Structure 1
Amino acid sequence: MSDVLLETHRVSIAFGGLKAVQDVSLQISQGSLTALVGPNGAGKTTLFALLSGFLTPDSGSVRFAGQDITRCAPHETARLGLTRTFQVVQPFGAQTVRQNIAVGAHLRVADRSEALAVAEDVAARVNLRALLDKPAADLTVAGRKRLELARALATRPRLLLLDEVLAGLNPSEIEEMVPVVKKLVEDGVTVLMIEHVMRAVMRLAEHVWVLAQGQLIASGTPGEVTRDSRVVEAYLGHGAAARLAAQEVQA
């Protein structure tokens, strides 16, 4: 049996004349923690939307656990075990943290008391137990990020797509979040994360895919992709790789 959990084959989508994602083929292995990186506007969040059913590709296919999900709606992909978070966190502000997490639990659990119990267990996994009865509107940015993660975890995903879960956090908050993300994989959840905090990517990811202008330009270990001249050019501009190499020679 293949250990490939998610696979895309030449997935593409355009908005008007803009090719947001072009012929992207990738594989995510069961039990892995993988990162999708690239400069702003590279098409990373659009690709997440294609994987999770919020957008349908113009061409290409998406397979999850051996099943074609190319045209599945988000609630269908979630039921199969593929869940995503959002870069812009929008909790139900008037509800408590417990109630917000229970919304995710109701994907699998009909009984309200059971959903609330699931919410308490999930809150403990992301260090939110002390805030369970606090209104979501009163949370800090870091608290909201944890709540977004908790709501997704409550759906019991096999694959979790994390869209910049570390964005907006200060260094100490990032340090607190990194082991939380790492523990997800130890607990059996496969993770694909979009992230700009490269220091965290270097610590977390086993494999990295690099997207630029809608196309995959590199993949490998974190160390390999950061040394790839195509990646340096994508982030720093044309000629940057040659300039950096010259500086190293002079040093």
Structure 2
Amino acid sequence: MLEVRNLSKRFGGLVATNDVSFTVAAGSISALIGPNGAGKTTIFAQISGFHQPDGGEITFAGQSLIGLAPERICLLGVTRTFQIVQPFAGLNVRENIAVGAHLHRAGRREALAHAELVAQRVGLGSQLDKPAAALTIAGRKRLELAKALATDPKLILLDEVMAGLNPSEIDEIIPVIRGIRDGGVTILLIEHVMRAVMNLSDHAWVLNNGSLIASGTPAQIAADPQVIEAYLGHGAAARMAAQKQEVHHA
């Protein structure tokens, strides 16, 4: 469904993405993970048209996305959420979601009706008339998800939708995300909550310093020495292996 080939992006002397390639299969939940500053959000920005790559190709359903504006990419069926949630504070939950619904629905009544259906899918059905500014962090995260979902995407890019949530809130949103995939939307997520990545993802790619360093199932990724080093520092993989040996021989 989505193919990224040899994607490169520089900001001055900083290499944000370096020859990155991966393919997202239709109907999957995939994860793009890595330490802070690895280049994950820059990749999302390039896929969704907010940044133009310096090199490489991005195709969605066989069509190149290079050079297209974000709204055109959204019309094709690719949408994203943002790390920093910024709802339209002067509108209620229903009206916020309807903004996304207007992409394919010109009439206000139709957009508001669709917004109600989307709110039910993400667990905001009881808060439709609440001012968006009055939502909790967990509520705002769900609203961000709903605003993207209201555009009728085929592929949704979720950028740290669980950041700032407590463990019980994370447990509550995991089945919501799984339900969106089961409803026919392919998902690519950036996430630091490894419990969620392990629970949700069919496949994961690990980015570090702008380059892909590992790819596989979440279990394979978690056991990869390069990944352990990227997250925990040089020598961490060897120390963990030594500790396992000590436990085994104890």
- TM-score of the superposition, structure 2-length normalised? 0.98
Q: Percent identity?
A: 62
Q: Aligned residue for 2:241? A: 245
Alignment of 1:20-31 (within 5 A): 20-31=16-27
Query: 2-side partners of 1:146 and 1:184: how far apart?
Result: 12
Alignment counterpart, residue 132 of structure 2, candidates 125, 133, 136: 136
Query: 1-side partners of 2:226 and 2:118: how far apart?
Result: 40
Alignment of 1:10-49 (within 5 A): 10-49=6-45
Alignment counterpart, residue 110 of structure 2, candidates 97, 110, 114: 114
3-state secondary structure, aligned to 1:48: helix
Q: Aligned residue for 1:201? A: 197
Query: 2-side partners of 1:71 and 1:62: how far apart?
Result: 10
3-state secondary structure, aligned to 1:10: strand
Give the counterpart letter for 1:198 in structure 2. Answer: M
Q: Structure 1 segments of 4 or more deviating over 3 A?
A: none
Query: 1-side partners of 2:103 and 2:62: how far apart?
Result: 22
Give the counterpart letter for 1:123 in structure 2. Answer: A
Query: 1-side partners of 2:246 and 2:182: how far apart?
Result: 44
1:175-198, Cα deviation, whole Å (9 max, x unpaired): 110000000111000000000000
Cα RMSD after superposing both structures? 0.5
Alignment of 1:150-161 (within 5 A): 150-161=146-157
Give the counterpart letter for 1:58 in structure 2. Answer: D
3-state secondary structure, aligned to 1:177: helix
Q: Aligned residue for 1:221? A: 217
Alignment counterpart, residue 121 of structure 2, candidates 118, 122, 125: 125
Q: Aligned residue for 1:84? A: 80
1:23-43, Cα deviation, whole Å (9 max, x unpaired): 000000000000110001000
Shift of 1:221: 0.3
Shift of 1:158: 0.1
User: Unpaired runs of 5+ in structure 1?
Assistant: none
Shift of 1:70: 1.3
Query: 2-side partners of 1:105 and 1:122: how far apart?
Result: 9
Give the counterpart letter for 2:181 in structure 1. Answer: V
Q: Aligned residue for 1:234? A: 230
Give the counterpart letter for 2:2 in structure 1. Answer: L
User: Unpaired runs of 5+ in structure 2?
Assistant: none
Give the counterpart letter for 1:188 in structure 2. Answer: G
Shift of 1:173: 0.5
Query: 1-side partners of 2:70 and 2:58: how far apart?
Result: 13
Shift of 1:94: 1.0
1:174 equivalenced with 2:170 (yes/no)? yes
3-state secondary structure, aligned to 2:119: helix
Query: 1-side partners of 2:51 and 2:103: how far apart?
Result: 21
- TM-score of the superposition, structure 1-length normalised? 0.98
Give the counterpart letter for 1:232 in structure 2. Answer: I
Give the counterpart letter for 2:6 in structure 1. Answer: R
1:207-243, Cα deviation, whole Å (9 max, x unpaired): 0010000000001000000000000000011111111
3-state secondary structure, aligned to 2:207: strand
Q: Aligned residue for 2:57? A: 61
